[in-house]
Structure formats: structure tokens, C-alpha cells
Structure 1
Amino acid sequence: MFEQMSYDAQLAYLQGVAEKALQKWALPEPTGLKLLSLSENATYRVDLPDRNPLILRVHRTDYHSRDGIQTELDWMKALQEDAGIQTPQSIDGRDGSAIQEVVSEALDEVRYVTLFHFIDGEEPDESDLIEPFKKLGEVTGKMHNHARGWTLPSYFDRLVWDYDGCIGDTPNWGDWRKGPGLKPEDVGTLEAVSDLIKQRLAAFGQSPQRFGLIHSDIRLANLLICGDDTRVIDFDDCGLGWFLYDLASAVSFIETNPGLDKVIDAWVEGYRRSASFSEEEEREIPTFIMMRRLTLFAWLGSHPTADLAQELGDSFAQGTVELGNAYLAQFQS
């Protein structure tokens, strides 16, 4: 099984899958194949002679179905064509399909692989978060407007980021109770937080104005700035959820930043340039930030070998409990 292989063995295996997959597209002989990231998927930069590089993605075996991947590609295409938001555009293989399959006899598995055009741009300057978060909010509002009017394909199949899909009975990223460094005496606090989130979300509701297709990981790390153009990448986690969850995703890992309120205000200001944002939604921001924080905590617990999990160690647990206590103090009657 892939999960039982050593990290180095996993890298070597995925490299082999990527090399084999490239044969399924009509490309010149690559001059380089470099791993860019390994998280849910393995993402590679494909260097080619006398042309722009391409991006190859080897998908995890148990994360998305073929229909789910096709849905993602469809939405990215529609965002670019309908809303003018530049996104990664897939490239069809020799057989005319954007989704290719690579059979591995060694592990008796099939891997889906996709290839994308490279998007020019620079990551936002994070030395001052205010202006980048205004841009982030504005492009998120445009995406939400598009999502509200876009007809989902008949084969739609994506993750659902509702309460259960985040921190409830069927969490996409695992159980937050298994997060690294969580002390037994703090479990009760976070249980109370989870219960309060559930109550408030039930009252908030899932009307089409509030709940629909979202990116769900739209952070500065997934923006590219090219002149005055704001481009969006990494739609792998897109699915159904509250639109406010995209704001919570935007502040992932900076929830304890002392300047968080100003960052949120900047995001909301940018969002209102392109979409409506009610006072009731504004009041519920802490609920979604807290839910996202617990979701990230679960991810760290289910991805213990990830670089981010190693970097954060047990400190994330302490910050999560502190945020939880503040949330209870604010909303618990």
C-alpha cells in the first residue's frame, strides 16, 4: 500500500507515475520534471524545450472520483470564460480526455492524472496583508457570484464542507480529536465549541445566497498577481459549502494574528466591491473561522508527516484551545 511506503519510496513511486503519464499527451520530450508540492496530490512542473512549462498533477487515489475531477475542471473553465477570472486550464490527452489514467501493477491501483497550462504571476506580497486581502476578497466575491448562477453538471461530485464534512460525523480531513498535541483536559472545551458551532450554523441556514460551490482553500498562497489581474489556482478542495467558509479559509493559520480584525475588514471591503455581504454574515465570521480552525487541526492529525504538521508541532493545539475559549466567551449564553 502507498501509505505504508517510506516518504522517499513514495516520492520515487509518484515520479514514476508522472513520467509514465506524460506519454499520454502529445508533447515533445520534457527537459525536466520537478516536484512542486506533495499534499493531497503530487504536483509537478514539466519543462519543455522552447515553450512555457506545464503543470502535471498526480491525484490521490481516494480523494476525488473521476466525475469529481471533471467537475473541478469544468468550473475552472467556466470561471475563466464567464467571469473573466484566469484559472488553470486543463489540456486534453491524445485520446481527447483531460483526465488520464495510469495503471500501477506494483500497487495494483489506478491513478488519475491531469495536465494544465502554466499561469504567469507572482504570489502576493505578504509584508503588508491589507491590500492583498482586499484583492482576495474581491476575487472571491466574483467567484461566489458566478457559482450562484452556474448550473452544476449532471455528474457533479465534490466534497461537501458543511458541519459534518468539516468537524461532524463524516469529516473530510479526519477527526479533530486526533489533532497533534491536544491535551485530554482540553477536549471538553473543544467539544463545547463544536456543539455551539453546530447550533449557530443550523440557525444561519443553507439558503442559495449563503451556501453553494466554493473554492474552500482560497488563501493568498493560491493567488497569483499579474499586473492588475488577480488569478486563482489550486481548486482541488472545491466543493459545496457556506460562502463564508471561503473567508475562514483565507485566514488559515493566521487566526491568532493580533492584526486579524484589520485583515478581515480588508477582505470584507474587497468582497463588497463585487458581491453583497450582510451584517448577519459579518456577525457569524467567528463561527466559520473557528470551524475552519478545527478542520485544519484535523488535517494536521491525519497528515502527521506533512511539512506543515512537522513545522507547527503541538503549538497549533494550544492556539486552537485559546481561540475556542474566546469563541465560547463571545457566543455562549
Structure 2
Amino acid sequence: MVSGRADLARLRRVAVAALAQYPLAEGRLTFVSHGENTTFRHDGAEGSHLVRVHRPQRHGRAVDSTAAVLRWMDGRIHETSARPVHLRRLGEAMARLHDHADAWPPPAEFVRIRWDHEAFFGDVMVYGGIAAADCWELLPGQLRVRFREVDQRMADLIATADDVGLIHADLHLGNALFHRGVVKLIDFDDCGTGPRLYDLALALWELRDRPDHPAFRDALLAGCRARRDVDVGTWTTSSPCARSRSTCGTPAPLRSTARSPHASTGSTGGPSRCSTSCRPPDPARGRPFGLLPAAVRGWTLAEWSTLSQSDSS
């Protein structure tokens, strides 16, 4: 069995190899955290960047990536200090993100996970080398029954969703930075194709037990509807899909509402998180690697991760 120290040394070598694919001068590489992914901080002449080494088969057997280099971003996270105004601005940013995704023609080599029923409840994902179907059997009996109930409820809903496209898939307040009139969206690890309503449901999941939950829900919807139509006719049955990712106690993408350890550099509400920057081409395959392709420049990063809103922080 490989020791933790040996495994960390191996991951560090992966990070060093990934850095060689970017136009960055040599610098100091410092370990940050090890969780769903493993992250290092690179300090060099061009400034500080975060190197994120992805766990194998991060998005299932058919979609894999090696590493990504991210840039640090300033802002405040209101995950534990949320007010309805933050949900409204998050909703506006979410709608703008969806609008941009609808208008953007993806390149032929663009490959992302498809958040369909099989991805949530079937055997697409791999957790610690264990196929998802086998993981479900490890759940305690009572929880497994609840999981299958959600499975059955969501089957028709996901199949008949009318607004499907590229989504963030982890767009809660822990992944939004508020800074000087701007909302910056980060942590696109789970970005893929799925029902747009899922982004809405997940944004409210951590607030579900608050007595003022209706105010947050109304604010989020108002923000979204300021830019695009939102049909919430299936709202009450959408949240169980978020629940299926957060209550099973397995690694992401099932555990979606916890703050991502690889993206944090401070306490909640404090400064600096990071956001996706550029992606280099994969020389081995002649195509981009990482969570988003090199063509991300064509998306205009500002549209993906820096969405103008009013700021009250």
C-alpha cells in the first residue's frame, strides 16, 4: 500500500509536469490541501497560481482530466453571512452564465460530463476506485431506500426537462465571490450538461432549513427572471436531486454542497478564492486537457467567472 507521503510526492510530480505546459517561469511550489483533488500553490515571477491535480476518473469513466492551473481572485464569500440580496445577484449571474452557454458554440473536442439520471443514480461515476453501483450498495439500508425513492422520483423529471444545457452544477454561495460590484463564479469542477433547474435547486440547498428560506428562494428566482424565463413547475421535485449528491457521504460529485477544499485559501467570508484561468493543449493527444479546454479564451473568461452585479459587501 502506498503511503500518504509517497502519494503526495507522486501528485507533486504531476503538478510540476502540468506547470511545464503553461507559460509560467519556475517558482516555488507549496502544498495546499488534499481532498477530492490535490492542490499546490505556485509562486513565481508572474505571481501566484493554484495548481489542482484531479483525482482519476473525476467525472466518470468516459471523462477524465489531469490537472489545471488557476489564478487567485479577490472577493468575499457569503456562505455563512447570506442575505436575500446575495441570492438575487447569484441568480442574475446564473442566468447570464446560462445565456452565454446557450450562445456559445463548443469546439469539436469539448467533452464534459452529462448530468443525466445515469450520472446521478447509475454506474457512471467512480469513487476511490469503486464503481458507483457498488458504492450505492454500501449505503446503510434505510438511507439506501431513501436514495432509491429519490432515484425513482427523478427519472421522469430529468428525462423530460425542457431547459437543458451547460450548467455550473455546483453553484452555491460558497462558489461565488462578491467584490466591488462584481460577482465572480469559481470552482467549475462539476460543469457539464444538465437541467438548468438543477443549478437553481443546488443554490438553495444549504439554506433549506432556514425559516427565511422562502425569501432566499424568491430572491434567487427574481435574479434569474431578470434575464431569462424560469419554469419552476417541478421545483418541489428538483431539490431531491441535490439531496442525492449531498447526503450519501461519498466524494464529489455526490457531495456538492460542502466548500471545495481545493479552492479555498482562507476562512468563509474572508479573502481570496481561485477561479479557472487558461487551459493548455494536451501535447499527448493534441487536444485540451483539464476541466475546460484552451478554447475557454473564446468564452471570454470575464463572462464565465466575472459577472457584473451590484455588491453590498
- TM-score, with normalisation over the residues of structure 1? 0.64
Between Structure 1 and Structure 2, the one with more helix by share is: 1
CA distance in 1, matches of 2:9, 2:206: 30
Match of 1:284 in 2: 234
1:169-184 to structure 2, matched below 5 A, reads 169-171=123-125, 174-175=132-133, 177-178=136-137, 182=140, 184=141
Q: Is the 8 A contact 1:44 1:56 kept in 2?
A: yes
* Residue type of the alignment partner of 2:238: F
Matched residue count = 249
Deviations 1:90-137 (A, max 9, x none): xxxxxxxxxxxxxxxxxxxxx733323332323236323322211111
Q: Is the 8 A contact 1:165 1:172 kept in 2?
A: no
CA distance in 2, matches of 1:171, 1:53: 33
Q: 1:18 to 1:156 in 2, by over 3 A?
A: closer
Q: 1:192 to 1:25 in 2, by over 3 A?
A: closer
Q: Does the alignment pair 1:161 with 2:115?
A: yes
1:204-283 to structure 2, matched below 5 A, reads 205-207=160-162, 210-278=163-231, 282-283=232-233
Match of 2:283 in 1: none
Choose the corresponding residue for 2:49, options 51, 54, 67.
54
Match of 2:32 in 1: 35
Structure 1's unaligned 5+ residue stretches are 70-110, 310-333
CA distance in 2, matches of 1:245, 1:5: 38
* Residue type of the alignment partner of 1:241: G
- Which structure's relative contact order is higher, taking Cα pairs within 8 Å and 6+ residues apart? 2
Query: What is the DSSP-based 3-state SS (H/G/I as helix, E as strand, rest coil) of the residue aligned with 2:153?
Result: helix
Match of 1:323 in 2: none
Match of 2:295 in 1: none
Q: 1:292 to 1:46 in 2, by over 3 A?
A: same
The two structures, once aligned, show a CA RMSD in angstroms of 3.1
Query: What is the DSSP-based 3-state SS (H/G/I as helix, E as strand, rest coil) of the residue aligned with 1:53?
Result: strand
Q: Is the 8 A contact 1:37 1:44 kept in 2?
A: no
* Residue type of the alignment partner of 2:52: R
1:162 Cα deviation from its structure 2 partner: 1.2
* Residue type of the alignment partner of 1:120: D
* Residue type of the alignment partner of 2:239: I
Question: How high is the sequence identity, in percent, across the aligned residues?
Answer: 27
CA distance in 2, matches of 1:52, 1:129: 34
Match of 1:72 in 2: none
Q: Is the 8 A contact 1:134 1:266 kept in 2?
A: yes
Query: What is the DSSP-based 3-state SS (H/G/I as helix, E as strand, rest coil) of the residue aligned with 1:121?
Result: coil
1:46-125 to structure 2, matched below 5 A, reads 46-49=42-45, 51-63=46-58, 112-124=66-78
1:191 Cα deviation from its structure 2 partner: 2.4
Deviations 1:231-268 (A, max 9, x none): 11111211110001111222344444444333222211
Query: What is the DSSP-based 3-state SS (H/G/I as helix, E as strand, rest coil) of the residue aligned with 2:187?
Result: coil
Q: Is the 8 A contact 2:79 2:174 kept in 1?
A: no
CA distance in 2, matches of 1:237, 1:165: 12
Deviations 1:256-283 (A, max 9, x none): 44443332222111111222213xxx23
CA distance in 1, matches of 2:51, 2:9: 16
Q: Does the alignment pair 1:10 with 2:7?
A: yes
Q: Is the 8 A contact 2:137 2:144 kept in 1?
A: no
Q: Is the 8 A contact 1:53 1:118 kept in 2?
A: yes
Match of 2:298 in 1: none
CA distance in 2, matches of 1:34, 1:160: 32
* Residue type of the alignment partner of 2:66: Y
Whichever of the two has the greater Rg, that structure is 1
Match of 2:97 in 1: 143
Deviations 1:272-331 (A, max 9, x none): 1222213xxx23122221012112334x2357xx9x69xxxxxxxxxxxxxxxxxxxxxx
Structure 2's unaligned 5+ residue stretches are 260-313
- TM-score, with normalisation over the residues of structure 2? 0.68
Q: Is the 8 A contact 1:166 1:292 kept in 2?
A: no
* Residue type of the alignment partner of 2:118: D
Query: What is the DSSP-based 3-state SS (H/G/I as helix, E as strand, rest coil) of the residue aligned with 2:19?
Result: helix
Query: What is the DSSP-based 3-state SS (H/G/I as helix, E as strand, rest coil) of the residue aligned with 1:43?
Result: strand
CA distance in 2, matches of 1:115, 1:128: 29
Q: Is the 8 A contact 2:40 2:51 kept in 1?
A: yes
* Residue type of the alignment partner of 2:124: T
CA distance in 1, matches of 2:251, 2:88: 32
1:32 Cα deviation from its structure 2 partner: 4.7
Match of 2:250 in 1: 301
1:158 Cα deviation from its structure 2 partner: 0.9
Q: 1:135 to 1:9 in 2, by over 3 A?
A: farther
